């Protein structure tokens, strides 16, 4: 979909269990190719086609309007610790507000499901982290960058939702990022890397499981 990456070797087998299929896969890897089954390639192609058919998503990743898979490196202003990011797509400068898209596959692209996904994987932190890098490197062209997530379902018809996080999400992420950087700095300074807890922790089974198993005895 982004137009970059290694060349694929599409192999017409049902799976990788046969000796012949594994041998062909090994030959593809030896030639610098990435082996993929025909049935999986058809899914990948259909997902890419769904992105290209979506008016907003296709515009965000428009060929000739930017570069895919661009790495950013910059020092944290307060601590000097080096930070890094990997943009899915870095649009060419246009003199206007920079709009950075980021592609995510998901089980559900419904807006309510996206909220849970953002919290589960910390995508609000990713957004703020990437925007920090863009601004630190002067790629923002004097405007506050916009960051749009392009969520796509992994099952047919591969629905797409383009989403922008509420501005308060960046404020939350700012606090979480600063805490993480400070913890990392202290750990690298002292060589002490704490775990989740310091003492023996009592782990209880969920109440619903207890009641289902033990009934009234729970």
Q: What is the mean pLDDT of each run of 10 residues along the chain (218 residues)?
A: 86 94 95 95 95 95 92 96 96 89 97 96 97 95 93 97 96 96 95 90 92 79
| CA distances (Å), origin 145, targets 15, 75, 82, 117, 167 | 44, 19, 21, 22, 12
Dihedral angle over CA of 177, 126, 117, 97, nearest 10: 120
160 with 180, same domain: the answer is yes
Residue 92 sits in the same domain as residue 38? no
Evaluate the omega torsion of the peptide bond into residue 157 and state whether it is cis, within 30 degrees of 0: yes
Res 217: pLDDT: 64
Domain at 158, CATH number: 3.90.320.10
Strands (E), 121-182: 146-153, 160-163
What pTM was computed for the model? Answer: 0.85
Token pair of 7, please?
A: 């060349």
> Among 37, 53, 69, which residue terminates a domain?
53
14/106 same-domain check? no
| pLDDT score recorded for residue 93 | 85
CB 61 within 8 A of CB 49: no
pLDDT of residue 194: 85
Same-domain check for residues 49 and 71? no
Number of domains in the chain: 2
For residues 204 and 161, membership in a common domain is answered with yes
> Three-state SS for 114?
helix
Q: Do residue 109 and residue 163 come from a single domain? A: yes
Same domain, 158 and 108: yes
State the pLDDT at residue 215.
Answer: 82
Q: What is the pLDDT of residue 6?
A: 84
Whether 91 and 70 have beta carbons less than 8 Å apart is answered as no
Residue 208 pLDDT: 92
Structural domain that includes position 35 = 1-53
> Whole-angstrom Cα distance, residue 183 to residue 69?
29
What does 26-77 look like in DSSP terms, one character per residue?
HHHHHTT-EEEEHHHHHHHHHHHHHHHHSHHHHHHT-TTSEEEEEEEEEE-T
Final residue in a domain of this structure, among 11, 38, 53: 53
Q: Are residues 16 and 121 in the same domain?
A: no
């Amino acid at each position: 979909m982004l137009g970059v990456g290694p060349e694929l070797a599409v192999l017409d087998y049902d799976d990788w269990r046969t000796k012949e299929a594994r041998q062909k896969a090994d030959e593809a890897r030896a030639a610098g190719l990435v082996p993929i089954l025909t049935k999986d390639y058809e899914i990948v192609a259909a997902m890419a086609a769904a992105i290209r058919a979506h008016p907003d998503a296709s515009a965000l990743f428009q060929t000739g309007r930017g570069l895919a898979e661009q790495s950013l490196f910059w020092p944290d202003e307060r601590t000097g610790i080096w930070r890094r990011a990997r943009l899915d797509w870095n649009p060419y400068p246009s003199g206007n507000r920079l709009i950075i898209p980021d592609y995510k596959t998901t089980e559900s692209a419904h807006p309510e499901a996206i909220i849970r996904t953002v919290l589960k994987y910390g995508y609000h932190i990713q957004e703020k982290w990437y925007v920090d890098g863009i601004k630190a490197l002067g790629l923002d062209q004097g405007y506050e960058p916009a960051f749009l997530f392009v969520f796509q379902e992994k099952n047919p018809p591969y629905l797409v939702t383009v989403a922008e996080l509420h501005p308060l999400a960046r404020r939350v992420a700012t606090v979480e990022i600063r805490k993480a950087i400070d913890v990392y700095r202290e750990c690298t300074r002292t060589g002490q890397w704490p775990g989740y807890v310091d003492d023996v922790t009592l782990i209880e089974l969920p109440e619903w499981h207890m009641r289902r198993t033990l009934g009234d005895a729970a």
